[in-house]
Amino acid sequence: MASRKRHLAKTITWRILASADTFLLAWLVTGSVAAGGTISALEVLTKMFLYYGHERAWYKVKWGTGKDELKAETEESQVEQVEEPVDKKVVSNTYNGKRRKKVYGKAASGT
């Protein structure tokens, strides 16, 4: 599991990379370093609020949280666990120079 320090470091480095990208694009489009800096600074502020609102909206959506899917998968796996009888197969092999027998499969019920 990733630590909080790692998440924080990734957040900060992503913010630096994203802001640098915005600055460069704004500078290239406008031809002005000052305009690029202003747009980049505004972008940092607006995207913080947009991200917060986006997260809050997604918090209300239950799709993809895994709770409903996990329950359905658990019920399906319980149904699939009905065992069918399987014949035992005895296979001999050599292990460290000694003959051994291995048993594969499950015994049929009642045997």
Summarize pLDDT for 9-68 with one digit per residue, the tens.
998 899 999 999 999 999 999 999 999 999 999 999 898 888 888 988 988 888 888 766
- Let me know if residue 83 belongs to a domain: no
Q: What is the residue range of 41's domain?
A: 4-71
Verdict on whether the full-model pTM lies above 0.85: no
Extract the tokens encoding 63: 């799709």
- Let me know if residue 53 belongs to a domain: yes
Q: How many domains, the chain?
A: 1
* Res 8: pLDDT: 85
- Let me know if residue 97 belongs to a domain: no
- Let me know if residue 86 belongs to a domain: no
- Let me know if residue 37 belongs to a domain: yes
> By the 8 A CB rule, do 109 and 84 touch?
no
- Let me know if residue 50 belongs to a domain: yes
- Let me know if residue 78 belongs to a domain: no
Is the pLDDT assigned to residue 110 strictly greater than 70? no
> Mean pLDDT throughout 65-90?
62
Extract the tokens encoding 95: 């292990």
- Let me know if residue 17 belongs to a domain: yes
**Rounded-to-integer distance, Cα 59 and Cα 50, Å:** 14
